[in-house]
A and B are shown apart, each in its own frame.
Chain A
């Protein structure tokens, strides 16, 4: 296989808050009956994580499962393992109605790291990011500026953002602009 590159090849813009593309990340869109035991089991087998509740993400070191919609989860894992994982899903769900597609190359993963990361995000999305409403373990799909994005908190000072590959530049620059404008002091 030819060596793949991520959308921004790990571009990082340092500052009080650093905006850093995380490089290649394996992602699988899995649609199906989320109450199905086999579906839950294969997600656990691939990621080691307990299946997430509605609007939640179950995260490990480099793997996770995020709840995308009532019939869809995003399975995250090391990029090189996607082909194997798809084969495991196909084997586990054979004969059932489901869809599993590799979307690793279709996305970019960007980290927002620093003191006021929460405010940088809150300035760009209509989602309620008050600490009482959004904390580590929560997962949200919304928009950042003018494009679709999904995000979660890795810890108190770090957000992870997934966007489409074609707008990775835009999302990076938008986050940098929001960081440069500084904290607002609301949270």
Chain B
């Protein structure tokens, strides 16, 4: 190609500038043992074998394989997802949440350290309580979220996203070693020490009471407690990513498989069913909860997602605070999170752009927003979506038009509140 373009014979084109070493080696030598079954590591939770023996249709989440849905005979994957959502909202669903990151942060300066890492306050969280927190990069962009639990006077447990476990652990070590090296804080990544199960749905407490061992009546929303559940060593976190009554229960990984099977067996009379990541996503979208990687893409700040409440005004500093003061960040003229309801009830195409009048300097159609999450909601029987729309929250009720892969076809959708289901939050307190 180059010789054509330069109108020169191939030998005269020359080669690229090699850096050492430039002795040719075979692809097999580069691959080494990395082929067949060990081509890449696949990470397994303590319950992965159970999932695979019970119809799991897996999806990759980093190197993990997580059940997307548990498909029964005669069902499509879509049928299975709808069944799992409906069952969790009416009976009980079980989610293997073991992959979520768990970082122990301990020391006399741990509270001060977490106040720098999270945009909201963590130092004043009471022992026994949980708080949802956001982390931003120094550039101000949202990079992770999760529930933090205060374990003791000098110890916090930070839950991260699945993808964030190693990344946020490294992020913490970086700041502790390279910036605040005189702060007395130790961090340990205990993600794999625990198998974690979300027990979700209106009958969740009935199941846990049947297993027995802990008085959950005394455990309010956003608190945690350690003890025994059905003979298993457990930490029970009353937190909810589905909007339902929900307990996330951590047991030592070695007891994970047995604990899962105990929940399945004891839950039969209450209609317990495992659910996968797609049902998880749909339920959180029905509640308008954001997902790192869907609503965020490395260019989104908390303000874009209407999370101003999580940006502490009491703190002089936290990672990302300076960036939030930049003129184009501290500005209402941004694409911001809204709910989207198609007029015809259809499911908006994922990633679709909302078109605007006119075209840009390159002759491309102008845009005014895009879809970040879109699902068929079995609870509402229609398509629901979230998206980032130019000045979106100021435009409630307005109808905007989204493109599709079919050039001739567009879809009209109304800008609405992103909380589609149980706006009062009554269900998580049944």
Contact = CB atoms under 8 A, between A and B. Distances in A.
Tell me if chains A and B make direct contact, with any CB pair below 8 A.
yes
Interface of A: 1-6, 24, 29, 31-32, 71, 97-99, 101-107, 123-124, 145-147, 164-170, 173-174, 177-178, 181
A97 B108 CA distance: 7
B231 to A, nearest CB: 5
B254 A170 contact: no
Listed residue (B38, B45, B192, B231) with the most chain A CB atoms within 10 angstroms of its CB = B38
Given A102-B252, A174-B33, A178-B33, 5 more contacts: A105-B193, A123-B32, A145-B34, A167-B43, A181-B33
A147 B41 contact: yes
Interface in B318-333: none
B42 A169 contact: yes
B33 A101 contact: no
B193 A103 contact: yes
A168 B34 CA distance: 16
16 contacts: A2-B251, A3-B258, A4-B255, A29-B188, A32-B186, A99-B107, A104-B252, A105-B193, A105-B253, A105-B254, A164-B43, A166-B43, A166-B192, A168-B44, A170-B41, A177-B38
A9 B34 CA distance: 25
Contact of B254 (A4, A101, A145, A166): A4
B40 interface: yes
A165 B38 contact: no
Contact of A31 (B43, B188, B192): B188
Interface of B: 32-34, 36-38, 40-46, 63-64, 104, 106-108, 184, 186-188, 190-194, 231-233, 251-255, 257-259
A16 B257 CA distance: 33
B233 A1 contact: yes
Contacts of A170: 38, 41-43
B259 A164 contact: no
A107 B252 CA distance: 11
Closest 9 CB pairs between A and B?
Answer: A4-B254, A166-B43, A99-B186, A105-B253, A106-B192, A106-B193, A170-B41, A31-B186, A105-B252
Contacts of A101: 104, 188, 190, 193
B33 A1 contact: no
A145 B188 contact: no
Contacts of A98: 186
Contacts of A107: 192
Nearest to B43: A166
Given A2-B231, A2-B259, A105-B253, A146 B188 contact: no
B107 A102 contact: no
A165 B231 contact: no
Contact of A106 (B40, B108, B190, B232): B190
Contact of B107 (A97, A104, A106): A97
Contact of B231 (A1, A29, A124, A145): A1
B106 A145 contact: no
B106 to A, nearest CB: 5
B254 A6 contact: yes
Given A2-B231, A105-B252, A146-B41, A165 B192 contact: yes
B398 to A, nearest CB: 47
Nearest to B252: A105
A103 to B, nearest CB: 6
Contacts of A5: 254, 257-258
